[in-house]
Amino acid sequence: MPADGESVDLGAVLDSSGHVTGVVAVRLERVAGSLSLAAGFIHGGVAPQHFAEWWGYGLFFLGAALAQAVYGLALLTDAVNERDFGAGWRRLRRNVYVAGIVGNLAIVALYVVTRTTGIPFFGPEAGEVEEVAFIDVVSKVAELALVGILFVLLRRARTAAGAEPASV
């Protein structure tokens, strides 16, 4: 790791085949973890107003907040590692990346639906189109950036395991 004031050799970021190196992957995991915590913090912050609208909406936001916070902490603390999980830890880590991609894309997709065609299925406001708020956009930017980083990490993990890079 470079000391303060030192520059990073960009050649060290990619190996000879153009893949992200281990040190960069750790840094990317930390950024991804921070983004997940930020999105979780936002969802947790708006949960009370959604509980006031209907318990189901509030429960959804509380669940999203908890899932994103736990996910973020898992990435920040290197929770899935060889020491704790043994030989299958790399496969498990890839699955953790996929779960983050799927979960955050589902949240973003639901957001798009609620802002274009209306709240689906349940609750007193079912069918109503929600307004776009600044805090919504901040959380969606965080979630989409998180998804992008997870795709990079997943590709790296699959390549490191000897598989073809992810084409998702």
Which pTM value belongs to this model? 0.83
Return mean pLDDT, the chain.
88
Query: What is the distance in angstroms between the CA of the first residue and the CA of the last residue of the chain?
Result: 31
Q: What are phi and psi of 2, to 5 degrees?
A: -75, 145
Residue 96, CB half-sphere, CA atoms under 13 Å: how many?
Answer: 25
Per-residue pLDDT, 165: 47
The amino acid at 49: Q
Per-residue pLDDT, 1: 47
